[in-house]
Amino acid sequence: MPISTICLKVQTGMDIFRVFDSLNYLPNLMLGMDAAGKAGGVVEAAISYTGDVSSPEKQKYDLKYYLNLADELVKGGTHVLAIKDMAGLLKPQAARLLISAIRDKHPDVPIHVHTHDTSGAGVAAMLACAEAGADVVDVAVDSMSGLTSQPSMGAVVASLERTSLDTGLSLQKVSEYSAYWEQARTLYGPFECTATMKSGNADVYINEIPGGQYTNLQFQAFSLGLGDQFEKVKKAYREANLLLGDIIKVTPSSKVVGDLAQFMVQNKLTAEDIEARAEELSFPKSVVEFLQGAIGIPHGGFPEPLRSKVLKDMPRIEGRPGQSMPPLDFTALTKEIADTYPESRAAVNWLLHVHWPTRPVQHHTLIEYRREVTVFAVTFPRSRAQVSERDVMSAAMYPQVAKDFFRIRDKYGPVKHLDTKTFLVGPTIGESIEVKIERGKTLDIRTIAVSEDMTAAGELEVFFELNGQMRSVFIRDENASKELKIHPKAVKGDKSQVGAPMPGTVLSVKVKEGDKVEKGQPIAVLSAMKMEMVVQAPAAGTVRAVSVTNGQKLEGDDLICILE
């Protein structure tokens, strides 16, 4: 599977592959490095940085730890060695110690440093890295820099002018480039973290929240009704990290810590509460899977006795998680996409041809997958169209995200051709937009009017011109008033009533009326902003009533089921 994905990326123009693991777990890193190398890519193995190598108080991730990792990655054949400082914790003094030590041991290996500027010290840290021997440091154009982004390109360029490390870049050109992106950035304002973060904040050295996670964590907090408690979420993040054993935090391990932090704030739980009540709490799914070993083994091992209390008799994964997984059946996945999302078939379902023998086909590489597709096309020349390789790889790597994308594409068509502003906020009355769907084909669309009267189905008629021809389409008004439905709440203190531990959507209901359940058995799975939570039975009993259905949206404490 990794080779298949990387082959496709190499063929579409990607050269350098930064290979990292969220726990710096070497078996996972070596697998990725091997796949990228075999596909013909430049391998940049990355060490995810946390802690502070300049502090004698931070002993778990000390200089020796990072040097040992660097030795293993160089021995494994990396072309470039990267330091991935995902939270911006690399202080200038620590940068000098770490980079100079690696440079001394591996004088011929290029060193690439990535950081975030959450604290505001990013420029100073990158200058220190450069002076200590780093070959490349990551920056962002001025208008897109700072906060949880990368340090300022202009500031680094200006600081190195007329020194032995002069970049040779024109500060004037950098400023002109920045001006363009300053305008583009306004389109994405709603997605920024500035609702709670107006400037650099050195508390990142305490909570260690990665720059790439900060905005996601913030949006999750708002969706869970915790928007006004984000400071509590940040403090809980630190507590959650320590509960889990002070782990490396980058996707997906950072999500584990973030999910636990929001779970703690949502349910008003302290670290002491988590340790004392671990056997009875319904933890987020990501936390349970981490403790099972689903993303690897953390440095120093799993936290005990917390792990045993949470998992009880659940299975544990020993060694590299993917090693025990069956090969991915690319043919079955392609057929599933074609069946479920007709637009993905390019109008011809060659996989469903009745004359093709029904047999499971498992592809271990993209080459094998393409060979199978070629046989189909040669055997049935009128059925050459197929689900694209990008669709298949997207569904393999990100199943839920891909499904949402296919659903939107099936419903609305190729919205990728719309400009950013139109896609995000839609056209205004009287506005004309040009949509280039392919070379030589451009659609001219002009919005004319919107009807005042709503249909019985809650839809409004929108009138527009398409290349000068009047058209209309009915669109559901999502803001229309809806019948108010009040869902019952679980009575606090009544252990027979199982309530939702957080607001979210019901992904699946695991029980039905009359089922006998054991303590800790899954009742339902909820999801909110990428965080999934398995709701468990608080005690053994029989399900008297189920109050939710798949797809239903719930608020915190909404009743899920009643046990007796």
The predicted structure's pLDDT at residue 291: 97
The predicted structure's pLDDT at residue 344: 52
Domain ranges of the chain: 2-243, 330-412, 415-476, 497-563
- Cα 262 to Cα 167: distance, rounded to the nearest angstrom: 43
- pLDDT of 381 above 80: no
Instruction: Please state which of the ranges 7-11, 258-262, 359-363, 532-536 shows the lowest mean pLDDT.
Output: 359-363
- Cα 492 to Cα 514: distance, rounded to the nearest angstrom: 23
- Cα 69 to Cα 46: distance, rounded to the nearest angstrom: 10
pLDDT tens digits along 13-45: 889 999 999 999 999 999 999 989 988 899 999
- pLDDT of 95 above 80: yes
**Pairwise pLDDT comparison (519 vs 46), residue with the higher score:** 46
Please give the DSSP secondary-structure letter assigned to residue 116: -
The predicted structure's pLDDT at residue 353: 31
Residues 6+ apart with CB under 8 A from 209: 87, 118, 217, 234, 237, 249, 254, 258
pLDDT tens digits along 386-428: 578 888 888 988 888 898 888 888 888 888 888 888 888 788 8
Same fold, 415-476 and 497-563: no
For residue 391, report the phi and psi dihedrals to the nearest 5 degrees.
-60, -45
Instruction: Please state which of the ranges 9-13, 150-154, 346-350, 427-431 shows the lowest mean pLDDT.
Output: 346-350
CATH H-level superfamily of 415-476: pyruvate carboxylase f1077a mutant domain (3.10.600.10)
In this structure, whether the domain defined by 2-243 belongs to CATH 3.40.109.10 is answered with no
CA nearest to 528, candidates 549, 547, 497, 500: 500
Residue count (the chain): 564
Range 159-176 average pLDDT: 95
What SS3 state is found at 376? helix
What SS3 state is found at 256? helix
In this structure, whether the domain defined by 497-563 belongs to CATH 2.140.10.10 is answered with no
The predicted structure's pLDDT at residue 479: 65
